[in-house]
A and B are shown apart, each in its own frame.
Chain A
């Protein structure tokens, strides 16, 4: 391992932080590739499409009437900031998928945003309580710059997988790269093995 002359660590590592990450504390940096959209909840929809028995679409009121689910824990951005002890609320992706009933041939999902942003995930990474569609952060409505009115939340992977302004999940029988995955970033994005970039 290389050692950088003159560099010292800042102290004992927080075990909640994956390698190479630091705790952003009360900051929540905003990073996007595109201009922040202005989305009205009265025309907002979320859909599950593709390899499912029944494609389903929810309006803002409909999705918020589903059984609620929350995540409390850490999130990790590939740019090296993490936040620990955060709470997001919304609905579990398991609940949404149960309504659409994925076909046995479905192996992956493509998450899509109202801005055209996409990110790909294995189906296994968004099921079993590992993923949500969320509209609240810390008990408050999710701010637009952080993906409001609603974003995907997949906290065990780097946060570019938690697509802001999410509009739907398409179920596929194969993997294909989404936006950042085509622009230099890792296909899966596991923070604990530092899967940041293509080739990691």
Chain B
């Protein structure tokens, strides 16, 4: 563990230095496994938030769940300098290799793997394929990466409370929040709670995105 910093009141980003080059693709996750002296283990998957950059370091953003076995340990116990057992990268489906148009739709903590994609797209700069992130959060203080997200390639939707002067009233994601038109070969990546994913996929169907171009990753909460 080389750095820990808060994203919101309940989420932190953990920067880990791995034993070798972190050879993952944007969208993949790693497993953190904790081992107690009596042999008891607990492990969870966490998506990588940082864009692959050929270094040995990865960033994971983890929400502290009150009943979460691993998230509470990470938030309450872990210190910079600690060694953790990390395994990965895992996952070949919910990945963006960087060369296709992508519509990223994230709800709450579901924005984490999508942020790796956005960061990669921004770093590869001019000439990169079209990428747009639509992220839904309850209120401004719940938005991860709040300073970094605003831009022409992102749309932020607040569902419960909006900042002063915000043009869109609070409310759930609708078809009107999607960028239009969508490139015909767009692949959609949807990530968030189960309910969020169901709502988002219905919106995508309504916008004419074919089923076989919708990739879904559902997040917990798991304990």
Q: Which residues of B contact A31 (CB under 8 A)?
A: 218
Measured CA separation A81–B84 after assembly (Å): 21
Q: B148 interface residue, CB < 8 Å from A?
A: no
Given known A22-B69, A33-B94, A80-B222, contact A145–B45 (CB-CB < 8 A): no
**Closest residue on chain A to residue B217 by CB atoms:** A33
Determine chain B's interface SS by DSSP, over half rule: mixed
Q: Give Cα distance in the complex from A115 to B90, angstroms.
A: 23
Tell me whether A7 and B77 are in contact (CB under 8 A).
yes
Residues in B whose Cβ lies below 8 Å from that of A7: 34-36, 42, 73, 77
| Interface band, chain B | 35 or more
Q: In chain A between 16 and 46, which residues have their CB closer than 8 angstroms to a CB of chain B?
A: 19-20, 22, 24, 27, 29-37
Asked if A6 and B73 make an inter-chain contact with CB atoms under 8 angstroms apart, the answer reads yes
A33 engages B215 (CB within 8 Å): yes
Cα distance, A179 to B87, chains bound together (Å): 21
A interface footprint on B179-223 (CB within 8 Å = 1, 0 otherwise): 000000000001000100110010011000001101111101011
- A64 at interface (Cβ–Cβ under 8 A)? no
Closest to B38 in A: A9
Q: Are A3 and B36 in contact (CB under 8 A)?
A: yes
What residues of chain B lie closer than 8 Å to A27, measured between beta carbons?
A: 222-223
Q: How far is the CB of A134 from chain B (nearest CB, A)?
A: 20
B7-45 near A? 1/0 per residue, CB < 8 Å: 000000000000000000000000101111111111111
Chain A residues touching B, range: 35 or more
A140 within 8 A of B: no
* Inter-chain contact A81/B218, CB cutoff 8 Å: no
B-side residues, CB < 8 A to A, are 31, 33-45, 69, 73, 77-78, 82-85, 87, 90-94, 190, 194, 197-198, 201, 204-205, 211-212, 214-218, 220, 222-223
7 residue pairs, one from A and one from B, having the closest CB atoms: A9-B40, A183-B92, A35-B201, A30-B194, A9-B36, A6-B77, A4-B34
In the complex, given contacts A22-B69, A29-B194, what are 5 additional A-B residue pairs having Cβ atoms less than 8 angstroms apart? A2-B85, A19-B41, A27-B223, A184-B90, A197-B87
